[in-house]
Structure 1
Amino acid sequence: MSCRKSIHALPAELLEQIQEYVEGEVIYIPKKKSSKKCWGENTDTRGILAARNAQICQDFQSGMSVKQLSDKYFLVEKSIQRILRKRKIE
Structure 2
Amino acid sequence: MKCAKIERILPDNLLKEIQKYIQGEYIYVPYQLKERKKWGEHSGSRANIQARNEKIRTKYKNGYKVKDLAEEFYLSVESIKKIVYVRNK
Deviation (angstroms), 1:31: 7.6
**Counterpart residue number, 1:48:** 48
Give the paired residue count: 72
Q: Report the structure, 1 or 2, having the larger helix content.
A: 1
Q: TM-score, normalised by structure 1?
A: 0.62
Unaligned runs of 5+ in 2: 7-23
Q: Which has the larger radius of gyration?
A: 2
| 3-state SS, counterpart of residue 47 of structure 2 | helix
Q: TM-score, normalised by structure 2?
A: 0.63
Q: Is the 8 A contact 2:57 2:84 kept in 1?
A: yes
* Runs of 4+ off more than 3 Å: 29-35
Q: 1:30 to 1:81 in 2, by over 3 A?
A: farther
Match 2:3 to one of 2, 10, 19: 10
